Structures are given as C-alpha cells and as structure tokens.
C-alpha cells in the first residue's frame, strides 16, 4: 500500500512539475519564418490592392525568326501606380526575300 501511495504521489509531483513547462516559447528560427511569411503576405495584399511593390524593372529579350534575328531591352521606372517612364531599345536584322 505504501508503494502505491508513494508512486501516486511521485506521479502527481512529476505531473505538476511538467505543467509548469512553457510550451509557448518560440525559437529564433520560428520567429524568422513567421516574419518572412508575414512580409510575403503583406506584399501579396499590396499587389491585390494595386499598390506599387517595386520601383523599377528591366527586361532583356532575344528574337529568332526564319528571316532574321534581334535583341531587345526595356527598362522602366514607376512614378505612380498608373504612370511609368519606359525606355525600350531594339536591334534586329531582317533578310530581304529576294536576297535568299
């Protein structure tokens, strides 16, 4: 009987000690992951609302066709969500149909 009471008392003491554990403590890695997720969600929310999420862009392209080839470059700066300053350069060569 003493063993059962001792075992029961030990279980109660260990159980109450485990209840004091703080499972709400978050590691640094989990904080970083949550911050990254929040940043991505805010960018998506801004994009849906029409706000600018970047100020400039650049595009480079190569064209290949049966009668010629070309390269192009475009750069743009956003002044407002509806106004953009664009520069576009294109260099291409086309063969004349009679020179083939």
pLDDT per position in the chain (100 positions), as tens? 888 888 888 878 777 766 666 666 668 888 899 999 999 898 888 777 766 667 888 999 999 998 899 999 999 998 877 788 999 999 999 988 887 6
**Maximum pairwise Cα distance, the chain:** 111
Q: Which residue has the tokens 């010629």?
A: 68
- Closest by CA to 61, choosing from 87, 33, 31, 91, is 91
DSSP-derived letter for residue 20 is T
Which helix (H) or strand (E) segment holds residue 42: the answer is helix 28-49
Handedness of CA 79, 81, 82, 87 (dihedral sign): positive
> What is the spatial distance between Cα 57 and Cα 61, in angstroms, rounded to a whole number?
14
53: its two tokens: 């999420």
User: Taking the model in full, what pTM does it have?
Assistant: 0.46
């Amino acid at each position: 009987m003493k063993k059962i009471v001792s075992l029961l008392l030990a279980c109660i003491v260990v159980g109450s000690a485990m209840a004091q554990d703080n499972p709400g403590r978050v590691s640094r890695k989990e904080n970083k992951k949550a911050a990254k997720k929040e940043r991505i969600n805010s960018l998506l929310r801004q994009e849906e609302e029409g706000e600018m999420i970047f100020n400039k862009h650049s595009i480079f392209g190569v064209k290949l066709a049966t009668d010629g080839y070309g390269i192009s470059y475009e750069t743009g700066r956003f002044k407002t969500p509806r106004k953009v300053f664009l520069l576009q350069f294109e260099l291409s060569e086309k063969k004349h149909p009679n020179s083939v």
